[in-house]
Amino acid sequence: MNEPNRVQQRVLRAVTTQAMEAGKLANSAVVRPGESGPDEARRIAHERSVHRCEQLRIAAIAGGVPQEWIAQTHHRGQLGMAWRPDIHWREHEPINRARLLADLHSDMRHVQDIAVVAAAYGHRGARVEAGTSQLFARNLNTLGRRVAAIAHVLGVTAAEAEQLWGRQDQWTAAATAVRGLSQDTLLGRWREHARLDTREAALQVSGLEDAGIGVATAKNPAPMVKDMVARLGHLLHHPTADPGQGPCPERHVTFSATDGAQIAASIDATNLAAATPVFRSAADPLPEFSDSTPDTGVEP
């Protein structure tokens, strides 16, 4: 059927809304008679709005939303035409799901690499450099939430989730890779992850979460960052197998609560127990979406 599913509709509706907002700000930034140039505040607000919309479109593409539909609904928003799901959707090129899953797998491995450093060094790092700890936690939380949001849009199946984050050997290997590292090496990696620029990822997260898509959404298959850190902390302190015996790919990971005061302390120390703010201006309003909005425009 050549029409978006319910999750894709949420994303496309958000694209429409953001494009409309950018258009309004563009009009307000137009130089008026007697003015020497556009108001700086209006110009900056317009640029930020355009950038937010651009990042939302990038996230939509990563989640498998057809680019033809994204361009269609973005154009409607630019024309000031409100969202409606019952338009004639354009034909689109086949979605390369295998490539999208491969990209998501790479992103997940990146999050896993950061999470294992949180499990191994987060508690000590928080005592040594509190500021760095906050930056580290923000970056890990942002990237983890982006993986979850993209997985939600993509509609990851149980079998796909198994390959993305459900195999025991992947988590065991990640824990084994850092178990013997020196404190200086872990400190270096911890600082490196804290210096990551995650601003664009954060805009993608906020755009999708505004549309009701993300890790906190019911039925989202992706694990939460704090659960990843807990799982890796458990493996660091309680190895499930002799590393010399090789991985056990047939074992499945379920993200349930794990015991251990050290793990809980590690999560608390990296500030992952509570929601970490994403890059959003306090002045940015949260959009309010309705299921249907009257549209008096002509279909582009």
Q: How confident is the model at residue 214 (pLDDT cuts 50, 70, 90)?
A: confident
Beta strands per DSSP E along 51-193: none
**How big is the CA angle at 193 (ends 259 and 176), to the nearest 5 degrees?**
50
Whole-model pTM above 0.85? Answer: no
Shared domain check, 71 and 207: no
Domains in the chain: how many in total? 2
pLDDT at site 45: 81
Lookup: tokens for 99 = 């490539």
Range of the domain at 35: 6-78
What residue type is 153 in one-letter code?
V
Distance of CA 205 to the CA centre of its chain: 4
Shared domain check, 263 and 129: yes
Residue 292 domain flag: no
Mean pLDDT of 280-286: 39
Last residue of a domain, one of 49, 78, 107: 78
pLDDT tens by residue, 88-104: 999 999 999 999 999 99
Residue 279 domain flag: no
* Averaged confidence pLDDT in the chain: 80
Shared domain check, 123 and 254: yes
Residue 240 domain flag: yes
Q: How confident is the model at residue 256 (pLDDT cuts 50, 70, 90)?
A: very low
Q: Work out the percent of the chain whose per-residue pLDDT is above 70.
A: 73
Sign of CA dihedral 262, 263, 268, 270: positive
Backbone φ and ψ of 263, nearest 5°: -70, -45
Lookup: tokens for 130 = 């509190």
Shared domain check, 254 and 140: yes
Residue 161 domain flag: yes
pLDDT at site 222: 84
Q: Please check whether residue 206 is in contact with residue 278, taking contact to mean a CB–CB distance below 8 angstroms.
A: yes
Specify the higher pLDDT residue, 178 or 283. 178
Specify the higher pLDDT residue, 65 or 223. 65
CA distance 135 to 141: 10
